[in-house]
Chains A and B, each alone.
Chain A
Amino acid sequence: MNPYNRRRLVSRIMLGLCAASVVVVVVPLLLIIGYLIYQGISSVNLALFTQMPKPVGESGGGMANAIAGSLLLLGLASGFGMVVGVMTGIYLAEFGDNKFGFIVRFLSETLNSTPSIIIGIFAYTIIVAPMRHFSALAGGFALGVIMVPIIARTTEDMIRLVPTSLREASLALGVNKWRTIFRVVLRTASPGILTGIMLALARAAGETAPLLFTALGSRFWSLSVSEPISSLPVQIYTYAISPYEDWHRQAWAGALILIGIVVLIGLAARFLAARSSLVRGARRR
């Protein structure tokens, strides 16, 4: 075989391997989604949304308390995550071109990739341990800490994408810096920042590990921030590792609901991003 033909053959083989890896990757991934939808749809029913869990070992019942609990936890988390994340993002974009800004940016990124169970321990040590009992507050705080770096990063990026000309137009009118930032810069960047908040929410919605020993879980209806509270992911986990057939069914149904929530939030984020002239402009660039 002459060298050129050999090289062509090698090229074909390697590109073929790349294509093969797509098959190897896509097939199990489709299997996961397919199986989840198949199991979920055959298990999901109205009771899941409206009823409380039945006592251990009895079939039937639902996850109404877990769905409500997840929503409450996400509400608490967004409260913390949005305020800290957006303000940090503003600092990084407006005043952060110095050593302190670099350190905050770096630690924020590191926080983003810190195992979520560690955040759970942290919330346990500073909220659960002093209060002496598990609470929705601790769970919401843990999820909030997880949201902060994602929101901070998108906020910074989006603010930096706002054209200098708009900022200068406002400054040249004699508008203060903080009003310029809040009412011109942030307003222009808001679709992008909202996208970041949604992405952070989607991530927090699926987190289980940080809730295990903060919000703990509960078989009862509760909307109190100082009591343990049930959540969808923890409920799925508890049911999945239980020995009961009917709980397994409910775990699949819960998983379908959870993935539905996560995908919906994700799609909404994409939709917002697509509408944002800033993000579009950034892609084009």
Chain B
Amino acid sequence: MAADSIVKRLKAPGALARGRLADRAFFIATFIFAGLVLLIVAAIFIELAVMSWPSLIKFGPRFITSSDWDPVAGKFGALPLIFGTVASSVIALLLAVPLGLGVAVFLSEVSPPWLKTPVGFLVELLAGIPSVIYGLWGIFVLAPLVMNHLAPWLNHYFGWLPLFRGTSYGVGLLTAGLILTLMVLPFITSVSREILATVPRDQREAALALGMTRWEVIRHAVLPYGRVGIIGAVILALGRALGETMAVTMVIGNTPRISASLFNPAYSMAAVIANEFTEASSRLYVSALIEVGLVLFGVTFLVNAAARLLIWRVGGGQKRARV
């Protein structure tokens, strides 16, 4: 009977041997691709280190301690860039962490159900807006707003602080910090929201049963339960802010200078690479820019690694929080 023949072929020794070989080949193929991911990360480090070698040996540690970034004179000190990157990120986190947490708490603990979906959707939508569009908005809407309204107001009331001295021309540290705030807010909100959603009901109920007010329940039962996860989320957000390129490039002013006033233009590590890489004329210039990239990569790598390990540890080893 014809039908028997295919069952027989199915069980033939040849088919089995081929099957065994195929299983082995399959394992090796997936292993190679997984190895490729590892290789890519390693290659990024190696390539950046090799390409920045001329600059590394020429400047040594002075590269990150000198504040003289003058490509025409062949002087490359990255301190102003590091300053700009860190300062704009700090502004962003100072504003975005309390706001983002507030929104997350509101959405998961307080909000009436009909409000959750639209606000949640809006937040998710904003997380997906490309950086260049934030930058576009920053140039044409936020920068004029800062120049004409926010900066004069801050200067009028808080001008005694060095932070708010002088006049703003729109682009500068403050504007960069604000645009970064908007960009990391959706991230902090959605991650915190997911973490708060994992807090078991009985934690809340136990606290309510003790006669706590709603805020006290949040303060003493909900937030402590999610604390480690939230800290992880904040560190991840820091990593994003440090490495954010386009939006910052478009509004920070691109001036390698360290100054106390937030109104002044500044420069960030990512922005200097974005702006100057294709124009870099000498080998040393390119190499210095790549060294900036190496420093940025090193810092974000450490920040992200710390956040990831923290989150995995709470998530129980392999079971990862979906961050």
Residue numbers of A with Cβ under 8 A of B are 7-8, 10-12, 14-15, 17-22, 24-26, 28-33, 35-36, 39, 83-84, 87-88, 90-92, 94-97, 100-104, 106-111, 113-119, 121-122, 124-126, 145, 148-149, 152, 157, 174, 176-179, 181, 202-203, 205-209, 212-213, 216, 233, 236-237, 240-241, 248, 251-252, 255, 258-259, 262-263, 266
- Whole-angstrom CA separation of A11 from B43 in the bound complex: 53
**A-contacting residues, B1-49, CB 8 Å:** 10-11, 19-20, 22-23, 25-27, 29-38, 40-41, 43-44, 47-48
Determine the chain A residues whose CB is within 8 A of the CB of B110 once the complex forms.
Answer: 15, 18-19
A236's partner among B11, B35, B136, B278 (CB-CB below 8 A) is B136
- Whole-angstrom CA separation of A22 from B38 in the bound complex: 41
Contact B40 A236 (CB under 8 A): no
Determine the chain B residues whose CB is within 8 A of the CB of A181 once the complex forms.
Answer: 26
Contact A114 B38 (CB under 8 A): no
Kindly state whether residue B296 has any CB partner on chain A within 8 Å. yes
Contact A109 B304 (CB under 8 A): yes
Q: What 6 new A-B contacts, CB under 8 Å, besides A125-B48, A208-B246, A266-B128? A: A18-B110, A20-B102, A21-B98, A32-B141, A177-B23, A236-B132
Contact A15 B214 (CB under 8 A): yes
- Whole-angstrom CA separation of A251 from B27 in the bound complex: 48
Return 26 A-B CB contacts under 8 Å, by A number. A7-B216, A14-B215, A18-B110, A20-B102, A21-B98, A22-B102, A25-B99, A29-B186, A87-B33, A87-B34, A92-B34, A96-B34, A107-B37, A107-B38, A148-B40, A176-B22, A178-B26, A209-B131, A213-B277, A233-B130, A236-B132, A240-B132, A259-B129, A262-B128, A262-B129, A262-B130
User: From DSSP, what is the main secondary structure of chain A's interface residues?
Assistant: helix
Contact B102 A17 (CB under 8 A): yes
Of A33, A100, A237, chain B has the most CB atoms within 10 Å of the CB of A237
